[in-house]
């Protein structure tokens, strides 16, 4: 049993508590759903549990390909043990297909496949509605250094490549998603690592065949069946209903091949 300490931060969909050891935290996934900068709110039973599992799966896989992130381990149905980082106040948006705010802002037809992934930066500030900003703003207001920004971009493109492939393999198009990064202090060393969550709350996921939306747009656009859609993503990732233990693959003993000499 992992004991959590005092509440450090409460966001729209998650709460962060102090963790059992210095530098650790407990990230709790709530069932609250919000959209349009908190104008639309609801509780969707089971959403937090699904996001906890899906985000754990993705972050674990990213760790295995060398993308450092804050996840230590999932503790229970709703909580993860994490490394506490200083969150960089940026929302990094990656787009593979134009939709959502991009189509509204620039009049790009919905569904346009982009030749290259597009990165956009937003200033993470609810009071201002997370406004779109340029790289120059980030440097001018020292929200991140040029070196940090380069690392964020490199990691973001690798994460996108990995996730596009992962979702393709289960018949899902990764349309766009949002990432957050943080500064991890270890002794006198500081490095930028991936933080927050990656889930259907923060990605747009379309079924390859039917184009059915399997993400938070079901809530934003009142399409219904949000839990069923998130569950579908989890099922395809093979993380439900099993406890997500990968069964050991047993190989037969190699049979020796005798080569007859002529």
Q: Which of 177, 181, 219, 240 binds ligand UDP (CB under 6 A)?
A: 177
Shortest spacing between CB 233 and ligand UDP, in angstroms:
13
Host H or E run for residue 139: helix 135-140
Shortest spacing between CB 46 and ligand UDP, in angstroms:
19
Alpha helices in 141-236, H assignment, sequence order? 146-168, 217-220, 226-236
Shortest spacing between CB 123 and ligand UDP, in angstroms:
11
Shortest spacing between CB 137 and ligand UDP, in angstroms:
17
Task: Please report, for residues 52, 108, 125, 161, 246, the alpha-carbon distance to residue 239 in angstroms, rounded to integers and kept in the order given.
Answer: 11, 36, 33, 21, 10
Q: 37 or 76: whose CB is closer to ligand UDP?
A: 37
With 0-12 / 13-18 / 19 or more C-beta atoms within 10 angstroms meaning exposed / middle / buried, residue 216 is buried
Q: Residue 130 interacts with ligand UDP (CB under 6 A)?
A: yes
Q: Give the CA count within 13 Å in the CB-facing half-sphere of 217.
A: 15
Ramachandran angles phi, psi of 174, nearest 5°: -85, 100
Find where tokens 């766009």 sit. Answer: 176
Q: 53 or 216: whose CB is closer to ligand UDP?
A: 216
Subset of residues 195 to 214 that bind ligand UDP, contact rule: CB under 6 A: 202-204
What's the token pair of residue 107? 């009049």
CA 219 – CA 45 distance, rounded (Å): 13
Q: Residue 89 interacts with ligand UDP (CB under 6 A)?
A: no
Q: Residue 100 interacts with ligand UDP (CB under 6 A)?
A: yes
Stretch in the footprint of ligand UDP (CB under 6 A) among 16-24, 93-101, 157-165, 251-259:
93-101
Shortest spacing between CB 71 and ligand UDP, in angstroms:
17
In the chain, what are the helix, strand and coil shares in percent, each to the nearest 5? 25, 30, 40
Q: Which of 178, 233, 234, 240 binds ligand UDP (CB under 6 A)?
A: 178
Q: Residue 218 interacts with ligand UDP (CB under 6 A)?
A: no
Three-state SS at 243: coil
Q: 130 or 148: whose CB is closer to ligand UDP?
A: 130
Interface residue list for ligand UDP (CB under 6 A): 91, 93, 100-102, 130, 176-178, 202-204, 216
């Amino acid at each position: 049993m992992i004991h959590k300490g005092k509440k450090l931060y409460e966001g729209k969909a998650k709460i962060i508590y102090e963790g059992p050891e210095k530098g650790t935290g407990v990230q709790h996934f709530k069932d609250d759903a919000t959209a349009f900068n908190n104008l639309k709110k609801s509780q969707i039973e089971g959403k937090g549990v699904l996001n906890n599992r899906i985000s754990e799966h993705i972050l674990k896989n990213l760790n295995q390909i060398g993308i450092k992130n804050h996840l230590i381990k999932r503790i229970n149905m709703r909580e993860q043990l994490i490394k506490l980082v200083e969150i960089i106040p940026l929302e990094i948006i990656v787009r593979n297909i134009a939709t959502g705010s991009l189509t509204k802002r620039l009049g790009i037809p919905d569904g346009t496949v982009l030749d290259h992934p597009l990165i956009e930066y937003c200033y993470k500030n609810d009071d201002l509605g997370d406004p779109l900003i340029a790289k120059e703003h980030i440097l001018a207001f020292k929200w991140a250094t040029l070196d940090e920004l380069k690392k964020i971009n490199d990691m973001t493109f690798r994460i996108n490549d990995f996730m596009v492939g992962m979702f393709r393999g289960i018949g899902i198009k990764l349309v766009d998603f949002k990432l957050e990064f943080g500064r991890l202090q270890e002794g006198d060393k500081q490095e930028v690592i991936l933080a927050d969550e990656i889930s259907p709350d923060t990605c747009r996921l379309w079924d390859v065949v039917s184009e059915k939306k399997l993400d938070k747009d079901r809530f934003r656009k009142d399409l219904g069946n949000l839990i069923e859609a998130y569950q579908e993503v989890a099922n395809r990732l093979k993380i439900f209903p099993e406890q997500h233990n990968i069964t050991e693959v047993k190989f037969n003993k190699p049979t020796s091949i005798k080569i007859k000499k002529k």
